[in-house]
Amino acid sequence: MAHPTQLGFQDAASPVMEELLHFHDHALMIVFLISTLVLYIIVAMVSTKLTNKYILDSQEIEIVWTVLPAVILVLIALPSLRILYLMDEINDPHLTIKAMGHQWYWSYEYTDYEDLGFDSYMIPTQDLTAGQFRLLETDHRMVVPMESPIRILVSAEDVLHSWAVPSLGVKMDAVPGRLNQTAFIASRPGVFYGQCSEICGANHSFMPIVVEAVPLEHFESWSSMMLEDA
């Protein structure tokens, strides 16, 4: 999860987020190169009194500074489109979970099971135990098996919400009366935190999302226990 003074992204916990991080670094390097070139040209033009007549009127230079930006845009657009299509791919999910946004909590329904669902409320600050994170912990975590394709169906019961977990590279709007879907694969075990990312009222800041990725055997034990308690 994020920590104070952090400048970069959270560590990737899914293949899609790893691709997004690589694309970010790729685009940032291009921005650095362009910024350095522009800064050098500005400093050179301000600090010298010499004038080159070939720069003032040159067909070749005009061709270069027209074609080069187009090439740079293509170098950014192609990997961007590739990741965009990767994020929309949902191939044979092993598990489907419906996430419903409410004011101001989330409810989860494991649709592959007959009666497995629960509400997920933020734990108040005064009830936190040692090691838990303020405004991020919930009384029920969404538990998923690691290294398995998970499909998330996202909707809302009242107003607009947004189901977002940065380290998994997932962000999907929850719209009343509409069922949106997204997918992810947790590539390692762990607990991943997110929050509602659409301003949804007075307690918008108090409806966190906690995804816990565990090995398949542990997930089966957890689901059996939840079904027995239901």
Query: In terms of Cα–Cα distance, which of 171, 135, 191 is closest to 13?
Result: 191
In tens, the pLDDT along 111-152 reads 999 889 999 999 999 999 988 999 999 999 999 999 999 999
The overall average pLDDT reported for the chain is 91
Q: How far apart are CA 23 and CA 2, in angstroms?
A: 20
Average pLDDT over residues 84-106: 92
**pTM for the whole structure:** 0.85
Residue 182 has a CB neighbour count (10 Å cut-off) of 21
Per-residue model confidence (pLDDT) at position 3: 81
Percentage of the chain lying above the pLDDT 90 cut:
76
Cβ atoms of 226 and 116 within 8 Å: the answer is yes
Q: Which CATH architecture has domain 15-88?
A: Orthogonal Bundle (1.10)
Query: In terms of Cα–Cα distance, which of 118, 100, 66, 224 is closest to 172?
Result: 100
In tens, the pLDDT along 214-224 reads 999 999 999 99
Whether pLDDT at 230 is above 70? no
Q: Which CATH architecture has domain 95-229?
A: Sandwich (2.60)
Burial class (CB in 10 A: 0-12, 13-18, 19+), 186: buried
Percentage of the chain lying above the pLDDT 70 cut:
99
Domain segments of the chain as ranges: 15-88, 95-229
First and final C-alpha spacing in the chain: 31
Whether pLDDT at 53 is above 80? no
In tens, the pLDDT along 181-216 reads 999 999 999 999 999 999 998 999 999 999 999 999
Residue 211 has a CB neighbour count (10 Å cut-off) of 23
DSSP one-letter code for 125: G
- State the Cα torsion 107-140-167-207 to the nearest 10°: 60
Start-end of H helices in the chain: 15-47, 53-56, 59-88, 216-229
Per-residue model confidence (pLDDT) at position 82: 94
